[in-house]
Chain A
Amino acid sequence: MTPTLLLVYAVVLIAVVGMAPRLVTHPWVVRLRVLLPSWRFFEAPGDVPVLSVRWGPDADRLGPWHAVALRPRRHLAMLVFNPAGNLALAHAALLQSLVDAIEATGEASAVDTAAQIGASAPYALTARLAREHVRRLAEAPASRYQFKLALVSSLDAARTDVLVSEVDPC
């Protein structure tokens, strides 16, 4: 009985997995997604969102872009206690949620996109993340900063800017 049930289950599942997943964007589905797991871990390599920041004394004198590295140190204790690693994973998920929000706008220009989604929570949280990195990276206190989000292909490293923020005070 059990082997037959397992076989039927496997066949149904293979059929379901073959279907393209639907991205559900309803706010309450997103908030309660912990109750609707997909279990599609490490499905396939694709585009990775990369955050970059620059800063300066005013909007006309911003320095070069610096890619923000979300890479805490690896150590053995992290097998049981890894707050920094898990926070970095949460930040990576935040960047992906901002990409999803950007794709939902359908806006072609990276600058116009920022104007469209500037009031959303993923944008505001990313702005705070960017500002935190500016404060960490800047040798002297900066008064203005800007961030941009790019999608980098994990297959061929091709890079596309999808969002360039306004210049904001630090």
Chain B
Amino acid sequence: MLTPAFALELTRLAIAIAVVQQSVELLALRRAMADDGVWAWSVLRRDFAGAPAGLADAVLGYRGTIAILVLRLAAAAAVPVAPALPCLLVMLATSLLVALRWRGSFNGGSDAMTITVLLATSIAAAFEGSPAIQLGCVWYIALISVHSYLIAGLVKLRAPAWRTGAALGIFVAGAVHGPPPRATALARPGTARLLSWTMIALECLFPLALLDPRICAAFIALALPFHVANAYVFGLDRFVFAWVATYPALLYCSAIT
């Protein structure tokens, strides 16, 4: 039986894996953040004209950024063995700093979901003795997860190009890695429309996952390959890990409604 405490423990482990992945990827990109790279701090600091220069330079300059990423990686790796609260607070603070360093976000929605989950799990860890706060944090994660799917589905439902299936082919053709093999199948209007409506239905109906654990498990079973497909087609690997971290909370909430 899933309890709020166990759901939060699973969430902590899952988000730690997401943070390890994100940190390792960014460390692999350190050349881009170096003084002669595209994302040099000497350029980015123009965005921080009002901030104390010495502090911003020390924290978000190249060496500071690498130190932040190493600290973030260490905190995430320590989650299974170290006290939860310090690890979560370090992951939260360093994730926010990394987002600042990349002009607000490095990877859009996955950064936002990671920080949402870290914020809720940090609050839950800080108030470990309060069952009401623990429960509130679990619900917050579950509702944000459901909300993210529903918004994504509704905006597609509103767009005529999604309803005809044309949008899917256009987005796939413009994917950052280029169109994948066999993407030509999307040129067939029937196939594109069927896939588009499947996505729209999955996203718009996702709130039903909260009604029953079996329905929730079914939605997760559909959402997981959907995220993996997005990782392959659009290069959105970080979204897989960030959204999976919300599933324990979803499962818990579906069981108590």
- The A/B interface has a contact count, at CB < 8 Å, of 173
Instruction: Assess whether B137 is interfacial by the CB under 8 Å rule.
Output: no
A85-B235, A89-B176, A129-B38 given; A34·B99 CB < 8 A: yes
Chain A residues within 8 Å of B37, by CB: 128
Which of A10-18, A52-60, A108-116 touches B? A10-18
Interface residues on B, range: 35 or more
B104 adjacent to A32 (CB under 8 Å): yes
A82 adjacent to B235 (CB under 8 Å): yes
Which of B5-13, B72-80, B83-91, B155-163 touches A? B155-163
A125 adjacent to B38 (CB under 8 Å): yes
B24 adjacent to A81 (CB under 8 Å): yes
Point out the residue from B46, B100, B104, B106 that lies within 8 Å of A86, measured CB to CB: B106
Chain A residues within 8 Å of B176, by CB: 70-72, 85, 88-89, 92
Digitize A112-134: 1 where CB-to-B-CB distance is under 8 Å, 0 elsewhere: 00000001111011001100100
Q: How far is the CB of B114 from chain A (nearest CB, A)?
A: 9
Complex-state Cα separation, A78 to B170, whole angstroms: 22
Chain A residues within 8 Å of B106, by CB: 86, 90
Digitize A23-42: 1 where CB-to-B-CB distance is under 8 Å, 0 elsewhere: 00001001111110111111
User: Which chain B residue has the least Cβ–Cβ distance from A74?
Assistant: B177
Chain B residues within 8 Å of A87, by CB: 29, 32
Within 8 A of B (CB), among A63-99: 70-74, 76, 78-83, 85-94, 97
A70-B176, A121-B47 given; A42·B232 CB < 8 A: no
A2-B210, A90-B106 given; A42·B38 CB < 8 A: no
Instruction: Assess whether B39 is interfacial by the CB under 8 Å rule.
Output: yes
Chain A residues within 8 Å of B174, by CB: 45, 48, 154
Point out the residue from A13, A32, A82 that lies within 8 Å of B25, measured CB to CB: A82
- Looking at chain B's contact residues, the main secondary structure is helix
Which of B61-69, B124-132, B146-154 touches A? B146-154
B240 adjacent to A79 (CB under 8 Å): yes
Chain B CB within 10 A, most for which of A39, A44, A82, A92: A39
Point out the residue from B38, B152, B170, B257 that lies within 8 Å of A132, measured CB to CB: B38
Instruction: Assess whether B57 is interfacial by the CB under 8 Å rule.
Output: no
Point out the residue from B109, B113, B210 that lies within 8 Å of A6, measured CB to CB: B210
Point out the residue from B99, B159, B232 that lies within 8 Å of A43, measured CB to CB: B159
- Looking at chain A's contact residues, the main secondary structure is helix
User: Which chain A residue has the least Cβ–Cβ distance from B27?
Assistant: A83
Point out the residue from B105, B152, B177, B231 that lies within 8 Å of A34, measured CB to CB: B105
Chain A residues within 8 Å of B26, by CB: 83
Chain A residues within 8 Å of B108, by CB: 37, 89, 93
A85 adjacent to B177 (CB under 8 Å): yes
A72-B176, A74-B177, A154-B174 given; A79·B232 CB < 8 A: yes
Within 8 A of A (CB), among B26-46: 26, 28-29, 32, 37-40, 43-44, 46
Instruction: Assess whether B207 is interfacial by the CB under 8 Å rule.
Output: yes
A128 adjacent to B232 (CB under 8 Å): no
Q: How far is the CB of B89 from chain A (nearest CB, A)?
A: 16
List 5 A-B pairs, minimum CB-CB distance, nearest first: A85-B235, A37-B112, A44-B159, A39-B151, A74-B177
